[in-house]
Structure 1
């Protein structure tokens, strides 16, 4: 979560979802001329991942990428459990609608997009900025809502069925229906994915600097060489310059200490600001640390946490 604002670092589940969605969507769109009926498992996989036209792919992939903020906040294990739980519920609802009412749902990860929208984005992400467009007051969240509406109507009525199933699944998850929030992926599954696909999706670890501690003999040689250079540069007037430099250095040290003490003062977070961030779902210790970094500015602290 504190890995930085951009890219996929700390979000391997989102990266895997996007890779699956982009690759299957491009393959399906490129092979539309093939009339051959694919096997059942292939049909289920493409139905879950592949958007059928470039417009759906653009808006759907953008929303999936935006929702990586929840994976960073919760961790990949919990977010992966949310993805598996809500998708299973949504696909069960889609199957019921298809068999009972004859409503066919659109292909693509519509359920996950709209489960994230209702369960997480609407309730957990506060508006940060407000502006007016043609006399209509809007917030920065409006862009996500507009993109979601465009995606919901892109392949109606199938997209309405799939999106509605996702919204209902997100609502059931948020209400903790039948203990959905307590469900977790089995430890064996998490370990297997982490040790196989997870390593490919997270990429190489950042290079670490290695510091070599010099030996006592090397330190003594360096000190002797430095002392000789100072004696040669100072010459016969070295003592006077050293005394003057010592007085200036002492004064500078005292002044620097005062400046450092002033810079070290940190604005303690107010209880109201801490409570506001805790109400959004953040840990109290992490909220206090973020508020200290942001000088008790809630908006800046929220950006730091996200």
Structure 2
């Protein structure tokens, strides 16, 4: 089903409080581990798969998801989250949060076993892969699936034979993050796979796994009240609208 997003879709975080909280959390945690007086905390972002699978140290896996150790990743992911807030505005905060929870869980599990399998089968690659990719890749890359399928290309042109559309810049940001290391590529790949599983409703996960409404109401009454954005003024509404195809 084809629909059209509001013209407000390109302004601020109005009706996108989950995205705003996510962006703020990632920015604060990533900044905290990159300033000189707390940079020693970066070591906790690197989690070896053996620590989790063989020793049961799940806390290391959870901590490794909290922040990015690289300034370039922080910058690129911040822009991506800002752009992808259109999905929250279109589908609602509770459904969007459920999507993030499900896909990030699946993606993280896939990352864990993929890295462990590669290191076990191909030990020569252990030096290149090292630990699990540090940072919340699993919260961003699943959204590229919906971006690919549901956001149209729009008008475009060609540069030295390469097609350039309104979506190209977003893909380039994603490649900037992926190109950081082999670990980053694994994190991005697992995130995209998790997004595909959700998109095509494998095992009926869209209907079976949802954040309880009571938790959604609690977030709306507490955190959302503190960070919610006001509607954009009429003067800030862009001319034209962004078409959106498909369902979440």
TM-score (norm 2): 0.76
Structure 1 segment 90-239 matched on structure 2, within 5 A:
90-102=107-119, 104-118=131-145, 120-154=146-180, 156-182=181-207, 183-203=209-229
Q: Residues of 2 paired with 1:36 and 1:111: CA distance? A: 20
Give the deviation of 1:33 after TM superposition: 3.8
Checking the alignment, whether the CA contact within 8 Å between 1:24 and 1:46 is kept in structure 2 is no
Structure 1 segment 1-306 matched on structure 2, within 5 A:
2=6, 4=8, 5-30=10-35, 31-33=38-40, 43-44=60-61, 46-102=63-119, 104-118=131-145, 120-154=146-180, 156-182=181-207, 183-203=209-229, 300-302=240-242
How many residue pairs end up in the alignment?
Answer: 210
Q: Residues of 1 paired with 2:64 and 2:179: CA distance? A: 18
Identify the structure with the greater helix proportion.
1
Gaps of 5+ in 1: 207-298
Q: Residues of 1 paired with 2:231 and 2:162: CA distance? A: 47
Give the deviation of 1:113 after TM superposition: 1.6
Checking the alignment, whether the CA contact within 8 Å between 1:93 and 1:165 is kept in structure 2 is yes
Gaps of 5+ in 2: 46-56, 120-128, 233-238
**What are the superposed Cα offsets for residues 146-200 of structure 1, whole Å, 9 maximum, x if unpaired?**
111111111x111011111101101111121111221211122112211111111
For 1:60, what is the secondary structure of its paired residue? helix
Q: Residues of 2 paired with 1:111 and 1:122: CA distance? A: 17
Identify which range, 17-26 or 141-150, moves more after superposition.
141-150
Give the deviation of 1:202 after TM superposition: 0.8
Tell me what 1:290 maps to: none
Point out the structure with max Rg over C-alpha.
1
The two structures, once aligned, show a CA RMSD in angstroms of 2.8
Checking the alignment, whether the CA contact within 8 Å between 2:15 and 2:229 is kept in structure 1 is no
Q: Residues of 2 paired with 1:304 and 1:123: CA distance? A: 10
Alpha-carbon spacing, 1:302–1:96, altered in 2? closer, same or farther (3 Å): same
Checking the alignment, whether the CA contact within 8 Å between 2:14 and 2:230 is kept in structure 1 is no
**What are the superposed Cα offsets for residues 74-104 of structure 1, whole Å, 9 maximum, x if unpaired?**
0101111111110011111122224433353
